[in-house]
Every structure is written in structure tokens, then in C-alpha cells.
Amino acid sequence: MLLAPRKYKLLIATGIFPPQVGGPATYSKLLLDKLPEKGFDVKVESYGWTEGYPKLLRYIIFSLRVLKNSFWADIVYAQDPVFGLAVLCAAKLTGRRFYLKIVGDYAWEQGTQRFGVKDFLDEFSVNYGKYNWRVRFLKKVQKFVADRADRIVTPSQYLKNIVSNWGVKANKITVIYNSFNIPAINVSKTQKSHRTIISAGRLVPWKGFETLIELMPEIRKEFGEVKLTIAGDGPDKERLERRIKETASQDFVHLLGQLTQDKLFKHIQESDAFILNTAYEGFSHQLLEVMAIGTPIVTTKVGGNPELIDNEENGLLVSYNNKDELKKTISKVLNDREFASGLASSARNKVKQFSEEKMLNQLSVFLMA
């Protein structure tokens, strides 16, 4: 009698989980639902489940829950290197394999928002020592955890290179692109009396929204009735509102605020171009959504963007905050409808490469190796 293959017991430790929203929550829920079909028993522990307790007590409760479930697991899979410190300790205490997913640099993200970091991520990843002790402490924590992980997953080659810059051995880092379920979207565009450019994202300095606002008067000189809409919320909201007033752009630049997914998709669908003038992207789920919708993309050749966008094939790549390049590429999209349509068609085809089944198969092999 043949015995069924043994199931691997996988504990996923994450900072957030549905109904909380965000990439780690969506990813963890997908693994909980789908990995049992690949031969895994799966449990999840989320720091988000401790909400309501004081911060230190939350971390203690989360750590104890992870430790308890680590005795059950064969593999402990942390979704973040800073929260992952507790997960690492639990895995080492119980003798379990410790795997880690890294989707960004937490020290840089916190540093730019709270601790005066001015460098972009590429420079920061090798030159963080000049910043204050809080930044250096976060950096040391995430490197400590990454160094002691048995294996690491990143969702792009760019992020693999960033983690390698920390001094982590590249041969234990595997790139597995995130999956993307193509939403059911009506890609036909409604008739309107003006052209619309849209951008979206968290309102933070490195997203380059201010440059787009400043560029709009020049775009309107060439094309007349063109409007810019920006979807999202964040700490730069008031500054961007002031910049709109300073450039007398209130009639043709609009901040939409945080939108539901359906409303955002509708705005993107009805726009003539999607612009992402960003200084950093690890692996942009936003770009995948726009590619699926079929709106032509202009974005920067930074981070993981060139892994999604092939210049002049399924989108256009420019330098960050380069007004001349931005104006030239936006003009090209607005002037040449046939060219723009070709970009959109190629983008919809490329999105198919990021299937859920492909990601799950690659992750299953990674976890069982």
C-alpha cells in the first residue's frame, strides 16, 4: 500500500491579515486558502489580531502565539524582517526552519517619513550609517533577521539586489513574483470632452506628484483641455493642495482622495494615460492593475518597474522627476492614439505572466526544497 506524501506544516506570521487591507494581508490569505492544494497544512498568526492592546503588550502576545504554533510547524514563514524578529526567535527556540519574505526596506520607509532620511533607497541601502540611531537600529534589526533566515523570498530582482546590499548572501535569496488576478473590467472608454491624465498612490514625497502638478500648465499649452487627477491619501496632501493653488491649477488638477477599488479602476479606465513618477517601487501591484485595465503607462525606470514595463513595448520609461522626458512621453501617448493602443494591448498580454498558479507552484518548490 502506497502512503500519501507527508504534508508540510507551514506557519505564516504576518503583520496584517484580512479584513485589514494591504499586500501582506492579501498574500497571506491567498497562501492560507490555496497552499493546502499543494500539500501544506497552513496556519496564520497576525500581529493585527492584537489590536486594542498597548503596543508592547501587542508584541508580547504576538510573539507568544507565534512561539506556541512554531512547535506545531515544520516551517515558519515571516512576512516582514522587523516583525520577523519575534518569528526568528520562535523558530530558533523550536528548531524549525525560518523563511522570510522581504518586500521593501522598513528602515528606509520609516526614515523618510519620520527620521529625516533624504536619500533614495539605492543610496540608502549602502549609506545608511550617517542617519540617527533610530534608523540605524531598524536597519540592524532587519539585517539581523535576514542574515539568520534559512531562505528569503523577494518579489523582484531589484529587491533581491537591495537585500544583497545589506550584506545578505545572494545565493539564499529567491525571486518569486507576486501573483495577480486580472479583475473583470470593462476596458471600453466613455466619450468625454477633455483628456485626462491620472496618477495614484500614497501621497509621499518620492511619488513625484508635485512635479506632475507643475508640468500640467505646459501640457495644457500643447493639448488644450487636459486634466490631471491624483488618487490617494497621505502625509503630503496639504503640501500638494498648496502647490495646486500656487500654480493656479485648481480648475484642471484634482486630488481625489482615497478611492474604493471599483472607483479607482473606473477613473483609470476613463483616462488617456496613467503616470507613475516614482523614485521607488519594489514591485508595483498598481502598475499590474493599470496594465490589466488597458490604460497606457508612463513610469520611471527605477526599482522593479523595468521588470514589468518594457520601454516602448507595453509602456514608456522615463527618469524620475525629469520634466522634459515626462512631457515628451505624455505628448507621445496623447498625440498617437494607435501607438498608445498598442502599448495597452501589449500590457494586457504581459499581465498574464503573473498568474496565481505560477506563483503558488514556485513557492511550493521553494518551501519544500
- In sequence order, the 6+-apart residues with CB closer than 8 A to the CB of 21 are none
H or E stretch at 65: helix 55-70
CA-CA-CA-CA torsion for 118, 119, 120, 121, nearest 10 degrees?
-120
The per-residue pLDDT for range 220-252, each reduced to its tens digit, is 988 888 999 999 998 899 999 999 999 998 999
**Does residue 1 carry a pLDDT above 80?**
no
| 272 touches 239 (CB < 8 A) | no
Fold agreement (8-179+355-368, 195-351): yes
Cell of 333: 501617448
The per-residue pLDDT for range 247-291, each reduced to its tens digit, is 998 999 999 998 887 888 899 999 999 999 999 888 888 898 899
Each residue of 125-148: b (16+ CB within 10 Å) or e? beebeebeeebbebbebbbebbeb
| 116 touches 124 (CB < 8 A) | no
What DSSP string runs through 327-360? HHHHHHHHH-HHHHHHHHHHHHHHHTTS-HHHHH
Domain chopping of the chain, boundaries: 8-179+355-368, 195-351
Q: Out of 5-14, 137-146, 165-174, pick the least confident.
A: 5-14
- CB neighbours (10 Å) of residue 116? 11
- In sequence order, the 6+-apart residues with CB closer than 8 A to the CB of 159 are 102, 103, 104, 175, 282, 283, 303, 304
Instruction: Of 207, 216, 307, 209, give the one whose Cα is nearest residue 255.
Output: 209
Distance CA 149, CA 172 (A): 9
| pLDDT for position 2 | 38
CATH of 195-351, one of 3.40.50.720, 3.30.565.10, 3.40.50.2000, 3.30.930.10: 3.40.50.2000
Q: What is the pTM of this model?
A: 0.83
Q: Out of 24-38, 94-108, 174-188, 209-223, pick the least confident.
A: 174-188
Q: In the CATH scheme, what is the code of domain 8-179+355-368?
A: 3.40.50.2000
| pLDDT for position 3 | 39
